[in-house]
Copies of this chain bind each other. A is one copy, B any other.
Amino acid sequence: MRSAVVVGTGAIGTSIALALAAHGVSVHLDDVDSTAARTAEAMGAGTLLPPDGPVDLAVLAVPPAHIAGVLTRLQRSGTALAYTDVGSVKSRPQHDIEATGGDRSSYIGGHPLAGTERSGPLAARGDLFQGRPWVLTPSDRTERAVLNQALELVTLCSATPVVMDPVAHDQAVALTSHAPHLVSALMAARLAQAAEASIRISGQGLRDVTRIAAGDRVLWSEILRANADAVAAVLDAYAVDLGQAVTALRGLDSPDPEVRKRATDRLDAMLEQGNQGRARIDRKAGGPTADLAAVSVAITNQPGALARVFAAVGQLGVNIEDVRIEQGPDQPEGFVDLLVQREEAPRVARQLGAGGWAVGG
């Protein structure tokens, strides 16, 4: 990557620009807020001068609702060879792009899983994404060269690429980010009218559970709106569990020993499942770096070929941890290396082979 445009010089956009500039990429900054753009320029994130011709990659660091509009405008003026964004929701922009007649072949969705509690260019850091996951969501139209540009962007930002389907991504963040935000906000909301003595005797547990409830409510309203169905689905399931928890609590003192036993067992099972769910996060945090192995698959450079192989692996229930493509974008075909958990690799190779894919060493 030699040149890039970064649209939106908030904390995320400017952090990306700083990382790219540090690797010698020629970065052009663009923001409707000229103060923010000048601040980013002064921080060494790039230049406010427009590029001479099409850049290698345009990164849209704008709110999700603006992605399709900005993309279509940039594509019409031929700003870049490839386009990506950093929105925290991925299905909606895809639909918007289709609806506004944007070119899907030169676009790939992106979502770096990193953030700062502060906003604006001054909150930016070139190492913000270091070691963090960065989801890429190619559509069935995304060209391989575009995926490669995005993979290079992720690498230059020292992040770890994770390829996902846009819908699967949105369900995942609904579960791990958006629903927890509302769960936390609703708990904090119950404190708004609480007696002062209750607040006074509260401790670290409540502080942790409600920390994210302090988040910018305008931003969160936008995020929840953009992923409303997936969040509602998680909260529906949560509400069923909550109803059972309340029933169990009320059954603990029942005169009927059968009811008491069921209530006790139910409550214990919930606490146990809470332990298990939490342990998965702890394992992720403290665990060793993933032990990965590559499965090489021959693919043609046709729209949808990559998406089909991703889909085939996804149907095996296996997560693609990383992707390396072993050819230039202008070659007619080549190999893609899919990095998966080492113990999954033999099964992936076998099943893809059985499915008609040419699988190499």
Task: Spell out A's residues near B (CB within 8 Å).
Answer: 113-115, 133, 135, 162, 164, 168-169, 171-173, 175-177, 179-192, 194-203, 205-214, 217, 220-221, 224-225, 228-229, 231-232, 234-239, 241-243, 245-246, 249-250, 252-253, 264, 267-268, 270-282, 284-285, 317, 319
Question: For the complex formed by this chain, how many copies does it contain in all?
Answer: 2
Return 8 A-B CB contacts under 8 Å, by A number.
A176-B198, A180-B206, A180-B209, A182-B270, A207-B281, A207-B285, A228-B249, A229-B250
A208 contact from B162, B209, B236, B317, Cβ within 8 A: B209
Name A235's contact: one of B231, B245, B279 (CB within 8 Å): B245
Q: What residues on B are CB-neighbors of A206 within 8 Å?
A: 176-177, 180, 281
**Quick check: A189 and B284 within 8 Å, CB to CB?**
no
CB-contact partner of A278 in B179, B213, B231, under 8 A: B213
Q: For residue A162, which residues in chain B have a CB less than 8 angstroms away from its CB? A: 197, 200-201
* A209-B184 contact, Cβ under 8 Å, with A176-B202, A214-B275, A277-B190: yes
Please determine whether A195 and B319 come into contact, CB atoms closer than 8 angstroms.
Answer: yes
A221 and B280 contact, CB distance less than 8 A: no
Min C-beta distance of A36 to chain B, whole Å? 24
Which residue from chain B places its CB closest to the CB of A205 in the assembled complex? B212
Question: In the complex, what's the smallest C-beta–C-beta distance from A227 to chain B, in angstroms?
Answer: 9
CB pair A220 B188 closer than 8 Å:
no
- Pick from B183, B203, B214, B235: contact of A282, CB below 8 A: B214
Expressed in whole angstroms, the Cα–Cα distance for A310 and B183 within the complex equals: 36
Interface pair B197/A172, CB less than 8 Å apart: yes
The answer to whether residues A184 and B267 also contact, given A208-B209, A252-B228, A280-B191 and a CB cut-off of 8 A, is no
